Structure 1
Amino acid sequence: SRFLSECLSSLIISPNRSQFFQYESVSLSCDVQGNSSGWGLKRFTVTGRLSDCGTDWGKHQRSACIITVMSFDSGVYWCESWSGKHSNAVNMNVHDGPVILESPALPVTEGLSVTLNCRYQGTPSNHTVDFYKDGSLIRTETKGEMTIPAVSQSDQGLFSCRHPELGRSPESRMTVTDTNQLSMFFPDPAFTPTPAIPEMSMSLSRLLCSLLVVSPYLLVTTVLMLKCYRYRSRAKRDSPSAT
């Protein structure tokens, strides 16, 4: 469709995972088809702020944006061009607890091997870890990591891990793409913040593309917000002026 054709860039995150401890360094860059000039990195955080790399977060380093993350840096990150084209979006969860799950933030191609690693701060007395998918225990590993030799569509879902001494990590969604699919990536639908509309002057195509890479839930929410906004504006315009 026209809206999908506007998303011509891919956001690359290094290391390729969606969960981080505080003070870790993360590199974000835009892989653009064709001319890469005019593209920049944006984010919408759990604190409700929409901003660009180099403003109040991140430092430009060659073609990347480097950020030392804190808990308030959790949110949705994407690439955007001057003309309003958008990339895929990536959710970043910066956890202030002792356990995180290292799982791919970007979609994994079907058939490839994937290792999920339960990582913790400190040195626990044992490395036995329970791994969960969609809230259910699927495996217990003694080395703190779980390998899926060849991922398939059935492996998609929300993963987490639990260490018996340190507790449980947040959940992260692993997405598996078919080799014949378009390289169009979508973010973790479990991401819960519902931001306000960033710019009321944004064009409809830019707004839909932006919402498409954030989540279908936000698309529905914003459509309802727009309808409410227009209804209130019309009601205010039609009502007699107060004297």
Structure 2
Amino acid sequence: MDFRALCVKLVMSVIILLCAHDQKIDAASLHILPNRLQFFEYEAVTFYCDGVDYCEVVHKVKGKIKTCPNTKKRTPTGSSCTITNVYLDDSGEYWYETEGGIRSNSINISVTAGSVILESPAIPVMEGEAVTLSCRNKLTPSDFMADFYKYGVHISNTSTGNMTIHKVSKSDEGYYKCSILGVGESPESWLSVTETKTDPSSQPSCHIYLVLRTVFTIIMVALLLLLVGLLHSGKIGATNPNLSSIP
């Protein structure tokens, strides 16, 4: 193969690999349905791997979920798997991994044998949006009095079982739980809030960094290939006969 053609092919391969790597990192996203962090025992939960054709869902303690391959389905934007019945030991942190070694964000769920759960979003809420926390009674779906707590401190009492924060802010982030008189108390779950980006240059600067990194890598590869080519053609390292005759 012509040496220059080989150089071009190698440089193009580097560009493709770098771009693919950046896209995979940006695309690695895990979400679940129902979109909440707490589940009653024996409920079903589905994990969605966005942006990838194939993924393996991993539990921090148990490792790869063995039941997922039997229920795995492909969707237009990725793939999914379902645990048809969750148990107490299914509580914990989950993420997904691809064949290429890319790891997604993690989601920490709680499974309870009790009669009360707090329904809060499993994924971060954008600052300024409205978010509703629902106290759910396993025994009855009708409205009921519910108390809500943040870090164990009572913050609200409602007759509908729901508490809405109309414009959520970073200060609303924290551990929440709820209780229903005469029924029980839910586990605690973390409400995550994502700050609105006010600096318009923050996102372009990230792209500039990626472009500069790619260009630098290409230049280094090209220089290395040039050096190898010169050595291969004998233009470097040849001994000068005039210099060798000097006493």
How high is the TM-score relative to the length of structure 1? 0.65
1:30 equivalenced with 2:43 (yes/no): no
Aligned to 2:55: 39
Match of 1:171 among 144, 163, 188: 188
Structure 2 unmatched runs, 5+: 1-21, 204-247
Residues 146-179 of structure 1 show CA distances to partners (whole Å, capped at 9, x for unaligned) of: 0111100110000000111112100000010013
Task: Compare the two structures and name the one with the higher strand fraction.
Answer: 1
* Aligned AA (2:71): K
Work out the percentage of aligned pairs sharing the same amino acid: 44
CA drift of 1:39 comes to 2.8
* Aligned AA (2:115): P
* Aligned AA (2:88): S
1:10 equivalenced with 2:29 (yes/no): yes
Is the CA contact (8 Å cut-off) linking 1:41 and 1:77 kept in structure 2? yes
* Aligned AA (1:23): Y
Residues 79-117 of structure 1 show CA distances to partners (whole Å, capped at 9, x for unaligned) of: 112232211000111111010000011100011111100
Structure 1 unmatched runs, 5+: 184-243
Match of 2:72 among 53, 60, 83: 60
Aligned to 1:93: 110
Residues 40-89 of structure 1 show CA distances to partners (whole Å, capped at 9, x for unaligned) of: 22222xxx32123546x872133210112121211211111223221100
Pair member with larger Rg = 2
Determine the C-alpha separation between the residues in 2 that align with 1:175 and 1:103. 10
CA drift of 1:119 comes to 0.4
1:146–1:153 CA distance, 2 compared to 1 (3 A): same
1:88–1:53 CA distance, 2 compared to 1 (3 A): farther
Q: Alignment length, in residue pairs?
A: 172
Is the CA contact (8 Å cut-off) linking 1:159 and 1:171 kept in structure 2? yes
Higher RCO (CA 8 Å, separation ≥ 6 residues): 1
1:141 equivalenced with 2:154 (yes/no): no
